[in-house]
Amino acid sequence: MSQILIVAKFGGSSVSNFDSMNRSIDIVLSNLNTRLVVLSASEGVTNLLISLSEGQEKAQRTYLLDKIRSIQYSIINCLKLPDIIRNEIDRILLNITMLSETATLATSDALTDELVSHGELMSTLLFVQIMLERQIKVKWFDVRKVMYTNDRFGHADPDLAKIKENSTVLLQPDIQEQIIVTQGFIGSEMKGRTTTLGRGGSDYTAALLGEALQATRVDIWTDVAGIYTTDPRIVPTAKRIEEITFEEAAEMATFGAKVLHPTTLLPAVRSGIPVFVGSSKDLTAGGTRVCNNTKNPPLFRSLTLRRKQTLVTLHSLNMLHARGFLAEVFNILAKYNICVDLITTSEISVALTLDNIGLTSTSDSLLTGNLLIELSSLCRVEIEKNLALIAIIGNNLSKACGIGKEVFSALQSFNLRMICYGASSYNICFLVPGNDAEKVVRVLHKNLFGS
């Protein structure tokens, strides 16, 4: 067998029902080098499990459990020999039932992780069963035997050295023999309790395993055929990007593009493993290759949009003694654990947006209470809500001439609230009123990408 190894990850929509699982299996079979398959839970299941982990009333528990059961049963019912796997799924459902009862007494992050892990356990069991019925040599593997993490439940950090060691012993030899199907998203801490890597963590699992096994490529199969010059729901003529660098893709993800989980890229960047993003709905539709270098990186690569931004402008109360003002502002923000996202400054004021990536709270709720009181004692605080952050992602943007005209001449009729340009050569960002956001993206896309 060749040394080439592809790790393929299929997201929730690619394993949502019998047909989509079969389509994903077709994709696995279409490339003999795909030896390790990482799956998310069937679409919707993780959300239902999280809801159960919050401790629900009995009626609601029954309702949620029925929904989970019906998603998984709709797959079982299409099998030729459903009995064995139905028993196994029933055992898991019973486990979920018991854990969700426990959750009504006391919730904890550890219990939540234990509960949600069942989504990936079920999807992988069903996927393997379909493969077996199709006479494919396959093995189900419990990823927790290799995916060691710390005990930060809900957002566990992987132990890279252990993962490498375990994968070499437990996965490497088997991969030569048959296709291995395993779970994304879940892991195991030192005491053997189940952890998760954070929502959407299956991409991360695939990249971590790809790194541990020195894979040739990681394929991320989702419901869109790659990365586009902007969100095709806003601009239907957006073009697919054939090849993009890790830096550009990470910028896009940071600034709101939904395709890739930003942390997915870390293990791949570290190891220089290219990532391919394609649609499991249409194998022939192609996709985007994300890699270390691309030929002729263009000046403008893409446009992203992030909504619900809050702009905080702080005006120093005392112009004459403004020295140290920024330091004081940042001290206060650090004290409240708040990361600043964008920032512009002038002599007596500073305008900033707050980074709410990865947080469940909105920037609105970050800005309440004591923080505001403390800031107000130092300066006059102005808050503008419902803005949208538009980022132009590209290459060498800070070195090019005439960019200002090229970008902003098309936007004369819009109110641009804050412009950040110069700090990064990969992006130019600005804020516009939320209601104008889509229009701005359309106008700008036409101007920069021709359609």
The residue nearest Mg ion at its CB is: 11
User: Can you list the pairs that 439-442 forms with residues at least 24 positions away whose Cβ atoms lie under 8 Å?
Assistant: 439/414, 440/388, 440/390, 440/411, 440/414, 441/230, 441/231, 441/234, 441/235, 441/303, 441/305, 441/390, 442/234, 442/235
DSSP annotation of 195 reads E
Q: Which is nearer to Mg ion, 40 or 166 (CB)?
A: 40
Residue with tokens 């009626």, as numbered in its chain: 59
Q: Which is nearer to Mg ion, 113 or 436 (CB)?
A: 113
Please choose, from the candidates 186, 183, 297, the residue with its C-alpha nearest in 3D space to the C-alpha of residue 242: 297
Q: Which is nearer to ligand ASP, 138 or 143 (CB)?
A: 143
Rg (CA), the chain: 24
For ligand ASP, which stretch binds (CB under 6 A), given 62-70, 200-208, 273-281, 287-295?
200-208
Q: DSSP letters along 69-104, please? A: HHHHHHHHTTSSS-HHHHHHHHHHHHHHHHHHHHHH
Q: Is 153 in the site for ligand ASP (CB under 6 A)?
A: no
* 379 touches, from ligand ASP, Mg ion, none (C-beta below 5 to 8 Å by class): none
Q: Is 13 in the site for ligand ASP (CB under 6 A)?
A: no
Contact indicator for 311, 431 with CB cutoff of 8 Å: yes
Contact indicator for 43, 254 with CB cutoff of 8 Å: no
Helix (H, G, I), strand (E, B) or coil at 322: coil
Give CA separation, 80 vs 22, 25, 137, 323, 327, in Å. Answer: 14, 17, 17, 75, 67
* 10 touches, from Mg ion, ligand ASP, none (C-beta below 5 to 8 Å by class): none
Q: How far apart are CA 96 and CA 155, in angstroms?
A: 21
As measured in angstroms, the least distance from the Cβ of 227 to Mg ion is 16
Q: How far apart are CA 87 and CA 73, in angstroms?
A: 11
* 41 touches, from Mg ion, ligand ASP, none (C-beta below 5 to 8 Å by class): ligand ASP
Tokens of 173: 């030899």
Q: Strand pairing of 186-188 and 217-222?
A: unpaired
* Amino acid present at 308: K
As measured in angstroms, the least distance from the Cβ of 320 to Mg ion is 54
Task: Show the site string, 11-30: x = touches Mg ion by CB under 5 A, - = not.
Answer: xx------------------
Q: Which is nearer to ligand ASP, 48 or 418 (CB)?
A: 48
* 184 touches, from Mg ion, ligand ASP, none (C-beta below 5 to 8 Å by class): ligand ASP
Q: At a CB cut-off of 8 Å and minimum separation 6, what does 356 contact?
A: 308, 362, 363, 366
Q: Which is nearer to ligand ASP, 40 or 112 (CB)?
A: 40
Please choose, from the candidates 238, 250, 237, 162, the residue with its C-alpha nearest in 3D space to the C-alpha of residue 203: 250
Q: Is 303 in the site for ligand ASP (CB under 6 A)?
A: no
* 185 touches, from Mg ion, ligand ASP, none (C-beta below 5 to 8 Å by class): ligand ASP
Query: Which listed residue (158, 184, 262, 287) binds ligand ASP by CB under 6 A?
Result: 184
* 158 touches, from ligand ASP, Mg ion, none (C-beta below 5 to 8 Å by class): none
Task: Show the site string, 31-60: x = touches Mg ion by CB under 5 A, - = not.
Answer: ---------x--------------------
Q: Is 201 in the site for Mg ion (CB under 5 A)?
A: no
From the CB of residue 405, how many other CB atoms can be counted at a distance below 10 Å?
Answer: 9
Q: Is 38 in the site for ligand ASP (CB under 6 A)?
A: no
Query: Which listed residue (13, 20, 46, 395) binds ligand ASP by CB under 6 A?
Result: 46
For ligand ASP, which stretch binds (CB under 6 A), given 71-79, 197-205, 296-304, 414-422?
197-205
Chain residues 113-152 in contact with ligand ASP, contact rule CB under 6 A: 119
Contact residues for Mg ion, defined by CB under 5 A: 11-12, 40
Contact residues for ligand ASP, defined by CB under 6 A: 11-12, 40-41, 46, 119, 184-185, 199-202
